[in-house]
Chains A and B, each alone.
Chain A
């Protein structure tokens, strides 16, 4: 079974060897989850962006030390947590930020720089999550097994009794359907 540790192993090895495309891919893939998790802690768009960026710079510099004992995201997240903790502990800014009022947080979260960042705030993520539940059953099953359970295509094929090619196609179609919802239902709605 392919697990999260091996999911990115090829790209990680390429990135370690200096392949910038592979590195960019990994950063692009994980930025939303790192940012989203940091935002849920800091409630600040600006802090989350800064911390996420610093996380990836640190990760890039320390990539050789990643041995694959944990999932790549877990490793990234550990860096992000430590940065967030240090950031808040090292200055009086921490108290001001943690005590910031809800109104101020809402104000701060306006004016997103890009669509992804806008979508990474909780309400938007909840809308997408809700939409996922409305996907046709065959698409939803494969998609959830992959995204939530972390199953490999091979495992999903065994579980659902369908060929791997069908699993691949269903997961792709699920993503396309969700993207369509985001583009038409959220960004233009």
Chain B
């Protein structure tokens, strides 16, 4: 995998000396071109991880390496160019007075030439399906549209990693779907790693790998399928399982031999009709 990865080495973090540790001895690696979902209950430390990756916070113990470069006060501006971040609140991260100004904001900060900015604005707005909205002011956009603009602004700087820190949490189901589709497209079209932080297990199903956080520690690391096999324990640490997963359980209890853990409706449907036709 070479050097293109984010690596956490025994990272511990707390906000203040006299406060409890938010992260306790956390180690993991995020590889190139990978989609990693990070889930956990409120206060499990998942948002802190996002801020540590971007150099918005620094750990008290341990080390964070982005492409082999440690995240410190002197490297933080390089790191922020490589690691883009989309936050939860669509309104509070919209800096520009119009869509194109907002997309340009990050590029302006990095001192890019104007011609390149104009090119990248068109490109990244197209990537998120927001072309034609260049001159729109934020109050004329829906929450989902604002978040798509936020993704476009991150894409414009062409980072290697994009962190979505509960980027869909404040959206309605329609907006949520929009964003999930957008990031899926973006990830398949570009050479980048995605780190989605969420407590919505439905979002997790699309990721390559899941890291489950609980009380500041890594509780589990694995594929979504492996994760949903541990339903009882998930519920124990306060995470809900998706509807399909619950339905599959009920079906198993009712005596239907499902061969694998279905992740979505499509997979469950396939299980059911193969079962039906082989009976």
Tell whether A and B belong to one assembly. no
Residues in A lying within 8 Å of B, measured CB to CB? none
Residues in B lying within 8 Å of A, measured CB to CB? none
